[in-house]
Structure 1
Amino acid sequence: MDTDIRYANHRAKFLLLDIKFAQNIRFFEDHLAEIAELLIFAEDIRNQGKSAVERLKFGYANAMCVHIRMGDFVTLNVSTDASSTIRIARQIAIAKGFKQFLIFGDDQGFMKMIADNLELDEKGKRSYVANISTFSEAVDLYVASQVCGAFFISAATSTFGWWLAFFTNNQSAIYYMGDKRSMWDKTPGEDLFLRSWQPVI
């Protein structure tokens, strides 16, 4: 792919990227501060989000957050793997000192199974708190910005998982599955993730 410098002096007010480049960091990583100023939650989303955060009782940036993706990703063979997700999320939580988990995703039953497992320590004792999100996608983004102290994207090609991580406050504690499986023409690689994000397997 050509470098984005060829668009630097383009006269158009905006450029529409082909969807396969929508998460390509080369197009916007140097402009993150400006982008952050543009991406402000609407008042109704903030109000709903604050209510959701209060119900969770997690505190600010005090939870290990995980995004799972099933749905059509199962057919495409790029869905979340339960055992590796539980193992990795638990390892990150222990390393960061988190006792609370919040699971985002598109399959409530699968999310609950992940949450139930994450509540148990290595001896099978219920030592952690794990909740699943039942909020709208917009509220999910707000909640992630408030409660997630670390974030794990379990399906590397998930666009929504990427954006949840993007809104997480601590960008040095973002992890993604070091998975090389492609989805259509989208392959996990360096151009897909911000430089501070870390692959894990």
Structure 2
Amino acid sequence: MLQDTDFLIPGLIDHFLIVNDTVRTCIHIRRTDFVGTGFHVPEKDFILSAMKFVEEKENNLLNMNYTTVFFTDDAGYVKTLLSEKFELKDGTVKNLETSSVISDTDSTDSILYSSRHCDTVLVTAPHSTFGWWLGYLSKGNQVYYTDLKFVNDLSFPAENFNPDDYYPPHWTPVRYGGPGNATVIESLK
């Protein structure tokens, strides 16, 4: 049907149908004010494993460009991640240096960017309200977050934090596969 329309009125489809061939995974990493507070601070190995998990789960469309956008309060730390690579199940090597950017925008612009461009969001700091809003207002509203039940965080054992009260039910909690297992898996709710 679209081909018939293009035949009758050449250029109509190109004028009104904008095809975006870029899929953006947005990663929120909050560290600086959480260090030493008892709140979970994401570690490099977990961030990379969680990114791999999300990429393999979400980015299965052919002929698409995949970009990672980092939102962080610690750009120096995230720059150390850019030298990393990991291999996906299909053999594709994800080179963070060539497929990622670190956002240097203010909070308002970051939220606006997320609402228009973030297809998937990974929140690595489960207490971050800014990360929560990035996910909640994201374009795709497909959000993964670090499961507090499986990290060393003082608020969860003290029963001061119930994840079910905080995260929408369609968001996906992720965690390490088990003791000594650095593979990230989906948590059961």
Do Structure 1 and Structure 2 share a fold, with TM-score over 0.5?
A: yes
> Which of 1 and 2 has greater Rg?
2
Between the aligned partners of 1:145 and 1:192, the Cα distance in structure 2 is 20
Residues 54-102 of structure 1: CA deviation (Å, up to 9, x unaligned)? xxxxx58721111001112111132122111111112211222272101
Deviation at 1:116, TM superposition (A): 3.3
Between the aligned partners of 2:135 and 2:160, the Cα distance in structure 1 is 18
Change (3 A) 1:148 1:115: farther
**Sequence identity percentage:** 24
Structure 2 counterpart of 1:121, from 52, 64, 86: 86
Unaligned runs of 5+ in 2: 1-19, 60-64, 176-189
Between the aligned partners of 2:21 and 2:160, the Cα distance in structure 1 is 33
Structure 2 counterpart of 1:67, from 2, 19, 28: 28
Between the aligned partners of 1:88 and 1:157, the Cα distance in structure 2 is 17
Q: Which structure carries more helix by proportion?
A: 1
SS of corresponding position for 1:121: strand
Bigger drift between 85-94 and 153-162 goes to: 85-94
Change (3 A) 1:125 1:161: closer
Aligned to 1:89: 51
* Alignment check: 8 A CA contact 2:22 2:67 kept: no
* Aligned-CA RMSD value: 2.5
5 Å-filtered alignment, 1:155-170, equals: 155-170=125-140
Unaligned runs of 5+ in 1: 1-58
Q: Number of paired residues?
A: 140
1:142 aligns with 2:112: yes
* Alignment check: 8 A CA contact 1:71 1:107 kept: yes
